[in-house]
Amino acid sequence: MNQLLNLIPILTKGLESVTSIGEILTADDIEEDNGKRILTSMNGDYDFKDVTYRYPDNTDPAVLNLNLHVNAGETVAFVGESGAGKSTILNLLVGFGQPSEGEIYIDGQPLSEISLRSYRKFLAVVPQNTILFSGSVRENILYGTTGVTEEKFKDVLKKSGLESVIKNLPNGADTMVGEHGDKLSGGQKQRISIARALIRDPKVLILDEATSALDAVSEKEVSETLDSLGNSCTTFIVAHRLSTVRRADRIIVMKEGKMIETGTFDELLKRNGAFQEMIMAGAGD
């Protein structure tokens, strides 16, 4: 009887977990994809036309009248103070929100008319905080993929800067990373996150503060890794550290939801404007 009584809290907790999982599994899709165009191929050209976005219950726009053309293969970085609208733009790119006004076009097609499920197959996102599972380096990179050849896997290791890291691990790519990757450094974990993105051959790579939590050495290594990707995909970067975006094809300076300056790193420095003020304030350290 005592053993049965001790089981009651465990069974109760288990039933609550099953109920919670059931609610998720039976929940309706929050996005309506029925009848929308299925995207079967993608070049990576983007057009923001008079895009304005307001969060629910907030009258002030997070992004205001954004007009921007991005060529396929181009690297575009968004910089600015907190609340300037940088991350909101990335959310719009992924499709987590639809513009309150205006439209985003992908290869000439309105994003609002495209199936987001088919569109996201061409995207890869590298978040600020890397989430690793208690498996091997290989398992963390290949998570969710099928049919990846060893040749392709090694190529991704090279592109992501993991090749030299793997050589120094006791079991190579089959080395266990530990709980939440605690056996790896911040730079190594972030490169695994980049490799996880690249293994999917994305047409669009989105980097949301991908180096903000790294030390100076790791940040430099990861930045060099991103530079080596060349024009293989359209890349959008949000960064506080201006050194991260030094080699971007274009830098967009945001303020209060508006695009106030645009150009290369060197071009913006010569203008003695908002970008140079950010540099002088130490944001590029």
pLDDT in tens, 15-33: 888 888 888 888 766 677 7
Mean pLDDT over each residue of the chain, to the nearest integer: 85
Closest CA to 156 of 194, 128, 188, 189: 194
Domain presence at residue 276: yes
What kind and span of H or E run contains 166? Answer: helix 163-167
33 close to 117: Cβ distance less than 8 angstroms: yes
Strand 46-53 and strand 101-106: pairing? antiparallel
Q: State the burial class of residue 76 (Cβ atoms within 10 Å of its Cβ: 0-12, 13-18, 19+).
A: buried
* Integer Cα distance of 46 and 94 in angstroms: 12
Over residues 66-87, mean pLDDT? 91
Candidate from 61-65, 74-78, 126-130, 200-204 with smallest mean pLDDT? 126-130
Domain presence at residue 192: yes
* Integer Cα distance of 54 and 45 in angstroms: 24
Quick check: helix, strand or coil at residue 271? coil
pLDDT score for 284: 46
Number of helices (H) and strands (E) in the chain: give both, helices first: 10, 10
Write the CATH number for 231.
3.40.50.300
Closest CA to 251 of 259, 263, 242: 263
Domain presence at residue 34: no
Q: For residue 92, what pLDDT band results from cuts at 50, 70 and 90? A: very high
Q: For residue 56, what pLDDT band results from cuts at 50, 70 and 90? A: confident
Percentage of the chain lying above the pLDDT 90 cut: 35
Residue 64: give the domain boundaries: 46-280
Q: How many CB atoms lie within 10 A of CB 29?
A: 9
Domain presence at residue 15: no
Q: For residue 52, what pLDDT band results from cuts at 50, 70 and 90? A: very high
Domain presence at residue 240: yes
Domain presence at residue 35: no
* Integer Cα distance of 215 and 229 in angstroms: 22
pLDDT score for 191: 84
Closest CA to 115 of 197, 199, 206, 42: 42
Look at the chain and report how many structural domains it folds into. Answer: 1
Domain presence at residue 145: yes
Q: For residue 51, what pLDDT band results from cuts at 50, 70 and 90? A: very high
pLDDT score for 225: 66
Quick check: helix, strand or coil at residue 254? strand
pLDDT score for 285: 44
Does the structure show a pLDDT above 90 at 248?
A: no
* Integer Cα distance of 262 and 253 in angstroms: 6
Q: For residue 66, what pLDDT band results from cuts at 50, 70 and 90? A: very high
Task: Output the DSSP codes for 107-126.
Answer: TTEEGGGB-HHHHGGGEEEE
Most confident stretch, 19-28, 108-117, 192-201, 220-229 = 108-117
* Integer Cα distance of 48 and 102 in angstroms: 8
Does the structure show a pLDDT above 60 at 250?
A: yes
Over residues 249-256, mean pLDDT? 92
Domain presence at residue 3: no
